[in-house]
Amino acid sequence: MHGRSKVLNFSAALIVSGMCAFALSAAGPAVPQATIGGPVLKIETLTKAQFRALSPNQLISYKGQVMTKAAFMAQRFAAWSKNQATMQESLQKLHAKFAAAQADLAHRQRADLAARNAKVLAELSKFQQQAALLAQSPSYVALSREAAQLVARYAVASSAEKAQLKLRASQLYNQLRQMELKGESQ
């Protein structure tokens, strides 16, 4: 049995040393590849496909720094993440700036519309006041009545009378229009 125990101890030692060697090779060498003769690849000379095919433990040189592909990717991801955060911040500022400009434009448009509406309302009020004054003028009222009578007579008038009624209607129109333009009451 003594011989058998030696064989078991020796087998166990081989298994343990094999497991340690496997664990070390899976974790990567403790000594950089450059010191054991492994190549350090310049990233600038690699194509995208070649770079993708590299193992994460492959040593690469980038801008004079030697690092593993995994370290390079982590460094690039950190820079990208920082840029993303900065871009999100800038985007939020731009959205806020746009919203402020949009609100300012809407405010100016409302103010402009209110000013134009005020002008229209002032003109309308002025026109309504003039119309009220004209409606109180005896000559304007008399001319308006005569114009209404001409319209009624025109419907039943003969051809000769229609020509005379058109002439008188034209005269009345001109007189009424002059009164409206001048705002005069006679």
Q: Which domain holds residue 19?
A: 1-30
Residue 177 counted as domain residue: yes
Q: Could you give the CA distance from residue 71 to residue 59 in angstroms, rounded to a whole number?
A: 9
* pLDDT reported for residue 108: 96
Residue 135: count other Cβ atoms within 10 Å of its Cβ.
Answer: 11
CB 175 within 8 A of CB 139: no
Compute mean pLDDT per 10 residues along the chain, 186 residues long, and list them.
49 44 41 53 92 93 93 94 92 94 95 95 89 85 89 91 92 88 59
Alpha helices (H) along the chain: 2-27, 48-53, 69-136, 138-154, 159-182
* pLDDT reported for residue 113: 95
Residues 6+ apart with CB under 8 A from 150: 165, 168, 169, 172
Residue 2 counted as domain residue: yes
Residue 156 counted as domain residue: yes
Residue 134: count other Cβ atoms within 10 Å of its Cβ.
Answer: 21
Residue 179: count other Cβ atoms within 10 Å of its Cβ.
Answer: 20
Residue 166 counted as domain residue: yes
Q: Could you give the CA distance from residue 25 to residue 41 in angstroms, rounded to a whole number?
A: 21
Residue 4 counted as domain residue: yes
Residue 106 counted as domain residue: no
Residue 143 counted as domain residue: yes
Residue 35 counted as domain residue: no
* pLDDT reported for residue 5: 52
CB burial readout 141-172, b (16+ within 10 A) else e: eebbeeeeebeeeeeeeeeeeeeebeeeeeeb
Q: Count how many domains the chain has.
A: 2
* pLDDT reported for residue 127: 83
* pLDDT reported for residue 3: 53
* pLDDT reported for residue 33: 43
